[in-house]
Amino acid sequence: MDIERLQPVSISMLNEFLYCDRRCALHQLDALWQDNAWTVAGTIAHEHADDPGYRQTAEGARVERALPLFADSIALVGKADIVEFRPGDCGREIPLPVDYKLGRRRKWENDDVQVCAQGLCLEEMLGVPVPKGAVYHVKTRRRREILFTDQLRQLTIQTVENVRALLSGDAIPPAVLRPQCEGCSLHGVCVPELAGHPHILETAYGRLFRTDG
Ligand code: SF4
């Protein structure tokens, strides 16, 4: 693999891709974006990085905020909301990345991959093992730990490759109506309901370029 020529992938894209590959393509390739209550809530959550509930859970740790991250070996870049450093063996500090989310745990695996990607970057940057990370849910003031298992690490690296493949092409994956569509801010431009009715799309395409009025 020619690492120097790899297109960089940002950690936030991994989250977006696992939520829905079509959404990731519409955003990253077609520059389509719309906010809704969920996306605004996500932005607000990061502004709570000094939440008092969080400060309790981080007691005894040295805390770095908005830490830039990179893993050159897989051309991955991003930023951690928070990284806690706690004493480990041989006087070394063990980092633990913490990502802020406003709501409760969602059903998809994208949050776990996002935090694992932060862990992979920290391992490469600092040369220390990073066995786990956490998501801090601002609304419930709950912290959920995420173990970086081999399976999660493999899924994370595979997702980096899948996102890079998506970015290097120009194909937008087809719409598939799924539970995620309900909270998707691009629902209005994607209209996944039409995917189950291809004849409606064919008729619309047919009329698009007809000139006989
Ligand atoms: S509406 Fe559904 S299919 Fe369309 S981009 Fe959003 S999640 Fe993906």
Q: Would you state the pLDDT for residue 124? A: 97
Q: Is the minimum distance from the CB of 23 to ligand 1 under 6 angstroms?
A: yes
Q: Which tens digit of pLDDT belongs to each residue from 173-192?
A: 999 999 989 989 999 999 89
* pTM, 2 dp: 0.86
d(CA 27, CA 2): 27
Domain residue spans of the chain: 3-170
Q: pLDDT above 90 covers what percent of the chain?
A: 55
Q: Would you state the pLDDT for residue 60? A: 82
Q: Is the minimum distance from the CB of 190 to ligand 1 under 6 angstroms?
A: yes
Q: 170 pLDDT exceeds 90?
A: no
Q: How far is CA 73 from CA 15, 148, 160, in A?
A: 20, 18, 11
Q: How far is CA 138 from CA 93, 116, 182, in A?
A: 26, 20, 22
Q: Is the minimum distance from the CB of 20 to ligand 1 under 6 angstroms?
A: yes
Instruction: Provide mean pLDDT across the span 195-211.
Output: 73
Q: Would you state the pLDDT for residue 18? A: 95
pLDDT band at 4 (very low <50, low <70, confident <90, very high): low
**Tell me, which fold does domain 3-170 have in CATH?**
Lambda Exonuclease; Chain A (3.90.320)
Q: Would you state the pLDDT for residue 67? A: 93
Q: 122 pLDDT exceeds 70?
A: yes
Distance 153 CA to ligand 1 centre (A): 26
Tokens encoding 98: 């913490």
Distance 192 CA to ligand 1 centre (A): 6
Q: Would you state the pLDDT for residue 39? A: 80
Q: Is the minimum distance from the CB of 186 to ligand 1 under 6 angstroms?
A: yes
Q: What is the mean pLDDT of the chain?
A: 87
Q: Which tens digit of pLDDT belongs to each residue from 64-113?
A: 988 999 999 999 999 999 999 998 887 889 999 999 887 665 656 789 99
Q: Which tens digit of pLDDT belongs to each residue from 132-158?
A: 999 988 888 888 999 999 999 999 999
Q: Would you state the pLDDT for residue 132? A: 97
Q: pLDDT above 70 covers what percent of the chain?
A: 87
